[in-house]
Chain A
Amino acid sequence: MSETAAIAVTVADHGAPAVSDAHLDALESEAIHVLREVAAEFRKPVLLFSGGKDSTVLLRLAEKAFRPGRLPFPLLHVDTGHNFPEVIAFRDRLVAQLDERLIVRTVQDSIDRGRVRPKHANQSRNAFQTVTLLDAIAEFGFDACIGGARRDEEKARAKERIFSFRDAFGQWDPRRQRPELWSLYNTRLDPGEHMRVFPLSNWTELDIWQYIARENLELPALYYAHPRRVAVRRDTLVPVADVSEIGDDEQIETRIVRFRTVGDISCTLPVESQATTADEIVGEILTAQVSERGATRLDDRSSDSSMEERKRAGYF
């Protein structure tokens, strides 16, 4: 394939990235507009906050939309119980700093109540989040859940609306989405239905990191390069943790890595990196050749359509 060579053009041609961020103003203004529409049109919205980079950006945008007042909605974290402890610590610190209300609902609780039944203790709990989330929605009567998902993450997300309708079972039906015109969002619901709202729909991974750099946002340290013990499996690195499945014969090494996504420990993989600041990560993304989920999420690899299947069932 001669064409592949064409990809390599570039970095050498242009030298150090001199990246402008004028487009961030447009994305920021759109996200603020969306957040204010949610506050105006829904009775009981909630913002999903995990301590990850996308939800941290989302939280800053919520501050931009509503300060000097308080946020017009609480925050909700669906905790798989397999989170990185430093992310949970960061989550709690940031919430305390902002003086906002955080609700935590745990997958462990759903397991204890028999709502979900893992096959074994260390199984990835990513898919179970759906049950815990839908239970929390029912418990509090939330009619809009604001999330940090982006359309560039995955093929199924590319087709999802900014205001994404969920039926009374929390399901997404790609064939029956409401058309979304201009910035006129149809927010009408019947009892039991709810809306997922994605203010970062039009942002890419690059935009997120440029924004983190521009806003000087604090993040959990594992987003930046650090030494970590990992099992090396062909082209992926699996972090060594209580819940990771590492075989006895696998080779464990210490590598300098960072996480591009931070989810359930059992399915989140780091990449080798020297980037210790958001600006350096912007530089790395500009030269990266692996998509964010392709590199770092075991849960999306099981089949070509796994995200679509999970979304139909009510996953974020």
Chain B
Amino acid sequence: MPIPYPDDVGLLRFTTAGSVDDGKSSLIGRLLFDAGAVPRDQLAALERIADRNGDDDIDLSLLTDGLVAEREQGITIDVAYRYFASKRRKFIIADTPGHEQYTRNMVTGASTADAAVILVDARNGMTTQTRRHLFLAHLLGIRHLIVAVNKMDLVDFARAPFDMIASSIADVAATLHTAPPIVVPLSAKLGDNVVVQSARMRWYEGEPLLEILENLPATAGREGLPFRFPVQLVRRVNTPSGQRRLYLGRIESGTVAVGDAIVAMPSGMATRARAIATYDGMLDRATAPQSVSIEVEDQLDIGRGELLVNPASPPTVAAGVDAMVCWFDDEPFAPGRRYLIKAGTRTAVGEINDVVHRLDVATFAPAPAAGLARNDIARVRIAAASPLAFDAYRINRATGAFILIDEQSHATVAAGMIEG
């Protein structure tokens, strides 16, 4: 096994997306196998299966093939999480299936990902499904996009089909006003350019997939944004010097230091940070994504749901928000229905006032919307019963995201991204 992270560059979460036969399971299996992350007993199980089926080689795609229901139907349900470590870092893969429900699953997997690996079959080129995946990755604000052009062995490792795909991918990125993805030609089945540089595609000057993933900047970006601290819990602690009130939470972005001015939103109460406490001791300064307890100078009635922020760069406070939503529920959206809006640690009652338009995830063009059905993505206007404090999702994922919960069925009916 490789020795994980002697020079740890930080945890990387990435999601994978592909159509049904793009070889996504094989790619993940290959990544785990060539990185040495497959235990001996699991390999032995694959060898037994290969023997039983009379195959020469083990089927690496079986490594990620989970539940009985899936094996019976030969499909993948839902999002599965995989873990492996290379020499440089720990990885968390959110593995999302590419068939029915792809929008819901990909949105779920992408919501926590720093990077996305989108698979394309070298023989088929760019498909409608690829456009959907690129769009969703962009919509979910994934910073690093990688397109893996798989099955290069089936096009004789030739440059021309790859170049064609790379250029149409660049066109789509331009349409979306996003940075062009890294495009890598590979063969998951044979291992070319997955972990090891391919000797059969000398024309490719980039790095193999694993190296690309190892070199991406870590979780990143959040510490450079303004300070945001959703209060999860208030605890009162008795000490010899009297009762202290601690605000427990995780710094979602930015930095806070003892003495800093702080405003609680949406209430607008202003104070200063008196102390930053952790189990391991008091801190002068703390940075995202640390979980800490903050004590403030004034006795304020701050509760769960308030957002502690830096007053120099406050969030927007409003009861009405414009947002993109991805509808998850089997039941279509019903006008006038009340939903719970969960944003950060705040949960408010609200409703969707207006479905402005749907987005065609293949053409990216607005389309008229009568309603919202499962897997639809639409621009909506939401009215909450009480004000929310938020940032635009494209600027701050943590304070710009929300989910909608059906008050009666308790289903998570939609994922939302605030436009600002």
> Does A pair with B?
yes
A121 within 8 A of B: no
B107 within 8 A of A: yes
B320 within 8 A of A: no
Shortest beta-carbon distance from B11 to chain A in Å? 4
* 23 contacts across the A-B interface (CB closer than 8 A): A1-B57, A14-B87, A18-B6, A19-B4, A22-B8, A23-B89, A26-B219, A33-B291, A36-B232, A36-B233, A40-B233, A66-B248, A156-B67, A159-B79, A159-B80, A174-B77, A175-B78, A181-B111, A181-B401, A182-B403, A201-B81, A289-B39, A308-B68
CA distance A180 to B104 in the complex (A): 10
B402 within 8 A of A: yes
A1-45 at interface with B (beta carbon < 8 Å):
1, 3-4, 6-7, 9-11, 14, 17-23, 25-30, 32-33, 36-37, 39-40
A150-187 at interface with B (beta carbon < 8 Å):
151-152, 155-156, 158-159, 174-175, 177-184, 186
A295 within 8 A of B: yes
B1-54 at interface with A (beta carbon < 8 Å):
1-8, 10-11, 33-34, 36, 38-43, 45, 47
A188 within 8 A of B: yes
Give the residue of B6, B111, B239, B345 whose beta carbon is less than 8 angstroms from that of A182: B111
Shortest beta-carbon distance from A259 to chain B in Å? 17
- By a CB distance below 8 angstroms, the chain B residues around A18 are 3, 6
A287 touching B1 by the CB < 8 A rule? yes
CA distance A32 to B69 in the complex (A): 34
- By a CB distance below 8 angstroms, the chain A residues around B111 are 181-182
B381 within 8 A of A: no
- By a CB distance below 8 angstroms, the chain A residues around B66 are 155-156, 158-159
B5 touching A184 by the CB < 8 A rule? no
Shortest beta-carbon distance from A176 to chain B in Å? 9
CA distance A14 to B6 in the complex (A): 9
Of all chain A residues, which has the CB nearest B104? A179
B133 within 8 A of A: no
CA distance A40 to B410 in the complex (A): 18
Give the residue of B67, B92, B237 whose beta carbon is less than 8 angstroms from that of A155: B67
Given A19-B6, A184-B402, A188-B340, does the pair A178, B412 have CB atoms closer than 8 Å? yes
CA distance A126 to B96 in the complex (A): 32
B67 touching A174 by the CB < 8 A rule? yes
A202 within 8 A of B: yes
A305 touching B4 by the CB < 8 A rule? no
Q: Which 9 A-B pairs have the closest CB atoms?
A: A20-B8, A294-B41, A291-B39, A289-B40, A32-B291, A188-B410, A64-B279, A181-B111, A36-B232
Of all chain A residues, which has the CB nearest B39? A291
Shortest beta-carbon distance from A80 to chain B in Å? 25
A204 within 8 A of B: yes
B397 touching A17 by the CB < 8 A rule? no
B4 touching A9 by the CB < 8 A rule? no
B363 within 8 A of A: no
Given A64-B278, A64-B279, does the pair A177, B291 have CB atoms closer than 8 Å? no
Given A66-B235, A291-B42, does the pair A186, B4 have CB atoms closer than 8 Å? no
Give the residue of A27, A65, A202, A207 whose beta carbon is less than 8 angstroms from that of B248: A65
Q: Give the size of the chain A interface in residues (CB under 8 angstroms).
A: 72
- By a CB distance below 8 angstroms, the chain B residues around A64 are 278-280, 291
- By a CB distance below 8 angstroms, the chain A residues around B87 are 14
A299 within 8 A of B: no
A179 touching B328 by the CB < 8 A rule? yes
Q: In the complex, given contacts A18-B3, A65-B248, A179-B107, what are 13 additional A-B residue pairs having Cβ atoms less than 8 angstroms apart?
A: A1-B58, A7-B33, A29-B290, A36-B249, A67-B279, A69-B236, A159-B77, A177-B78, A178-B412, A182-B397, A304-B45, A305-B67, A305-B68
Convert B274-286 into 0s and 1s, putting 1 for each residue whose CB lies closer than 8 angstroms to a CB of A.
Answer: 0000111000000
A206 within 8 A of B: yes
A35-76 at interface with B (beta carbon < 8 Å):
36-37, 39-40, 63-69
CA distance A160 to B187 in the complex (A): 30
CA distance A33 to B239 in the complex (A): 25
Give the residue of A1, A22, A286, A289 whose beta carbon is less than 8 angstroms from that of B47: A1
B401 touching A182 by the CB < 8 A rule? yes
Of all chain A residues, which has the CB nearest B190? A3
B232 touching A10 by the CB < 8 A rule? no
B148 within 8 A of A: no
Of all chain A residues, which has the CB nearest B404? A186
A250 within 8 A of B: no
B415 within 8 A of A: yes
B152 within 8 A of A: no
Convert A123-161 into 0s and 1s, putting 1 for each residue whose CB lies closer than 8 angstroms to a CB of B.
Answer: 000000000000000000000000000011001101100
- By a CB distance below 8 angstroms, the chain B residues around A289 are 1, 39-40
Convert B401-419 into 0s and 1s, putting 1 for each residue whose CB lies closer than 8 angstroms to a CB of A.
Answer: 1110100001110010000
B3 touching A19 by the CB < 8 A rule? yes
Give the residue of A14, A33, A288 whose beta carbon is less than 8 angstroms from that of B3: A14
Given A10-B1, A32-B250, A175-B77, does the pair A26, B233 have CB atoms closer than 8 Å? no
Given A20-B6, A151-B81, A201-B81, does the pair A3, B33 have CB atoms closer than 8 Å? yes
A246 within 8 A of B: no
B411 touching A182 by the CB < 8 A rule? no
- By a CB distance below 8 angstroms, the chain B residues around A304 are 45
- By a CB distance below 8 angstroms, the chain A residues around B280 are 64
Give the residue of B5, B36, B107, B403 whose beta carbon is less than 8 angstroms from that of A7: B36
A186 touching B412 by the CB < 8 A rule? yes
Of all chain B residues, which has the CB nearest A235? B41
CA distance A308 to B80 in the complex (A): 14
Convert B78-101 into 0s and 1s, putting 1 for each residue whose CB lies closer than 8 angstroms to a CB of A.
Answer: 111111010101101000000000
Give the residue of A66, A286, A287, A295 whose beta carbon is less than 8 angstroms from that of B41: A295
Given A33-B250, A289-B40, does the pair A189, B5 have CB atoms closer than 8 Å? no
